[in-house]
Structure 1
Amino acid sequence: MTSRPRIDLNSDLGESFGRWELGDDEAVLGLVTSANIACGFHAGDPAGLLRTCEQAAARGVVVGAQVAYRDLAGFGRRFMDVEPAELTAEVVYQIGALQGMCAAAGTVVRYVKPHGALYNAVVHHESQAAAVVEAVRRYDPTLALLGLPGSVLLELAADAGLRTVTEAFADRGYTPEGTLVARSQPGALLHDPQEVAERIVRLVTEGKVTAVDGTDIEMAADSVCVHGDTPGAVAIATAVREALASAGVELAPFIP
């Protein structure tokens, strides 16, 4: 008897700042199984972060720290040549800040996911990847690291004895090499809920995804991300969740 396919559904949340509201965190939290919550460096203010942690706790959604470059103005989407020791300290700081919010909300940080430009950098940038791994190791080596399959980040994390979790993106385009298409390029973002849902069902059940040039690439993932700031994020997450359920895929957090 074959086992039922299983996948985690995550989203980047807690990214509103003051009067500037981004996404519908409460609605998305009703659809996902894990939440990558901002830590105040690229987005998020204390009141909003606490509220998002409280909502995640109330719904039983697993919380991860979404760490980033210290770049509020650029939403963490600009590469920064941060010295490794400084980056390690800044990642430790961010995890600690979100853990404080989680403690007040009755939950805990269970994993770490880099955001934006840092996420893309640590796919290949060895010194910055090592700095992120060192931060997690020193803060709490039981935390998992979520990242792109085949990335230097996950390779170094595994070497350090950390738990690694591979991630695919529902609403982002892929290059033939399996990396994300830059947001400035055509095909970077996908908006049609049905197209996205069909794409993710194929990824989970067949281990394949179509790249931006039309070729198929092999990809295995433990978790699928729907960006909370993508226009129509709630509709996309709903379509993905329903399509996976219809295909017999179990939705569950990668951390029990």
Structure 2
Amino acid sequence: MTSRNADETAVVLTGATSGIGQATARLLASRTSRLFVHGPQRLSEIAGLLAELRAASRGEVHYVQADFDGLAAVEKLAAEISNRTDRVDVLVNNAGRPGSPRRSVGGDAEAGYREAIDRFAGTRLRPELARSHLLYGEWLRRERRLSEARERLRTAHELFTTMGLGAFADRAARELEAAGISVRKREAVTSGGLTPLEEQVARLASEGLTNAEIGSRLFVSSRTVEYHLHKVFAKTGIRSRNALAMVLRRRSGSRTGVA
């Protein structure tokens, strides 16, 4: 059996189009001859990222699209990859249900977390910024760097709570407790009775965006958008998107004292 150079490896990176996965893709692009990046978006939606990765790559960068909503989608992705290469040397799993924060690559793990935080800090993608703090905090806790971990996890918990992302806020709270900090669970609600995420969804829907477009902006699924819209309709008593703009204006006026 002949040995392979490091540059000849074929790497599959799932969940490569956002957050830690995207930072990892940038790290790997110049270090492998064949990189397969996976994401749920259509090719046209991540064309800029692909162009950046291919410009940095020494070899080939392929994009494979799949939304992991069932085993059939995973099998389809595997078949598509096998049609393009006869081997996979490394699989870096960053998609689906989160696993161990140690899944990042070697000594570059911390650099990847920091890069993701720095990039998202300058954008409006608050869910991804919060998730990056959470993953970094989890990694730091497992590295027994508890003081640093608490700082990142507190930031993640505050961001998730403010945005109304309860499941992620609970996960951050559990990590904080494991790091020795007790957190009282609370739900953030705006003065209009909507959580911050519900208000964001309602505002984008009132501007005419589809569920898919709203999900892309907020980095949540279309089903999550639909769920929050139903909650908005129930809380406000309206039945259509057409009335959202008027309701939001009225609520905004009541908060500022404008009649």
Normalised TM-score (structure 1): 0.29
The structure that is helix-richer by fraction is 2
Max Rg structure: 2
The structure that is strand-richer by fraction is 1
Looking at both structures, which has the greater relative contact order when contacts are Cα pairs under 8 Å and sequence separation is at least 6? 1
